[in-house]
A = this chain, B = another copy of it.
């Protein structure tokens, strides 16, 4: 597995995301990598990320699916364009739409494994399907429609 995660290739000023920004000291700082054609991420929720006692908060699950999805979109887009810019920085994608099906309760206290699959990709939009497993069982299925960050969001940089 590569030593640098997808999120380590974001420019500094795009690295303050609460879910995945390496420079957000209060955030989750998730890390995603390629594993063949799939993308993987492992995350251990904190003990206070509770839904009801013993289970992981669904909003946290949505959050890490979201960031693993946009990270996978960025990495896939970078790879597809064969790095034509000469830069090693990934393009930044944001979420247009997020869908999460909670198939069964997700146990708290064990690492969560996320696997992303590219369902569709073009220069502007990437659709990523994300499966979440805990203790070897699939608990959640998500889908992220990620789009290139709009100019309007860069204006506040």
Q: Which residues of A contact B (CB under 8 A)?
A: 13-14, 16-19, 21, 24-27, 46, 48-55, 57-60, 62-64, 66-67, 92, 94-102, 105, 149-150, 152-154, 156-157
User: Is the CB–CB distance between B92 and A102 below 8 Å?
Assistant: no
User: Is the CB–CB distance between A53 and B13 below 8 Å?
Assistant: yes
The listed residue (B21, B58, B95, B157) touching A98 by CB distance below 8 A is: B58
**Given A52-B92, A62-B63, A57–B17 Cβ distance below 8 Å?**
yes
Please, which residues of chain B bring their CB within 8 A of the CB of A57? 17-19, 63
- Interchain CA distance A40-B156 in the complex, whole Å: 29
User: Is the CB–CB distance between A18 and B60 below 8 Å?
Assistant: yes
CB closest residue in chain B, given A50: B16
The listed residue (B25, B49, B154) touching A18 by CB distance below 8 A is: B49
User: Is the CB–CB distance between A97 and B100 below 8 Å?
Assistant: yes
Please, which residues of chain B bring their CB within 8 A of the CB of A24? 48, 50
User: Is the CB–CB distance between A52 and B16 below 8 Å?
Assistant: yes
CB distance from A140 to the nearest CB of B (A): 10
The listed residue (B13, B62, B95) touching A102 by CB distance below 8 A is: B95
CB closest residue in chain B, given A45: B18
Please, which residues of chain B bring their CB within 8 A of the CB of A27? 48
User: Is the CB–CB distance between A53 and B157 below 8 Å?
Assistant: yes
CB distance from A152 to the nearest CB of B (A): 7
CB distance from A139 to the nearest CB of B (A): 12
CB distance from A40 to the nearest CB of B (A): 19
